[in-house]
Amino acid sequence: MSPNSKRKVPLLLWPFWALWRLLAFIIGLTGRLVAVILGLVLMILGAILIVTIVALPVGIPLVIFGFLLVLRGIF
């Protein structure tokens, strides 16, 4: 819980507060989903570059970065 959630919300402002909290939750969830999808795309792109052998120095960091993005999105 954040320090702001312990405050009492006036009854007339409660619908706006609830809507704000819902929007914040949806945006946070969407951000995580985008991070996971982008991480998976970077991992696939890195794997393709690794197979070409010529782009191996670029492919390995892409796979690592994509994996870290997936981890950040999940946890």
Contacts of 50 (CB under 8 A, 6+ apart): 56, 59, 60, 63
Q: How far apart are CA 45 and CA 74, in angstroms?
A: 20
Residue-range definition of the domain harbouring residue 43? 31-75
In a domain, 25, yes or no: no
In a domain, 7, yes or no: no
Query: What confidence tens digit (pLDDT) does each residue in 12-71 have?
Result: 889 888 888 988 888 888 888 899 999 999 999 999 999 998 888 999 999 999 999 999
The whole model's pTM is what? 0.68
Number of structural domains in the chain? 1
Does residue 3 have a pLDDT over 70?
Answer: no
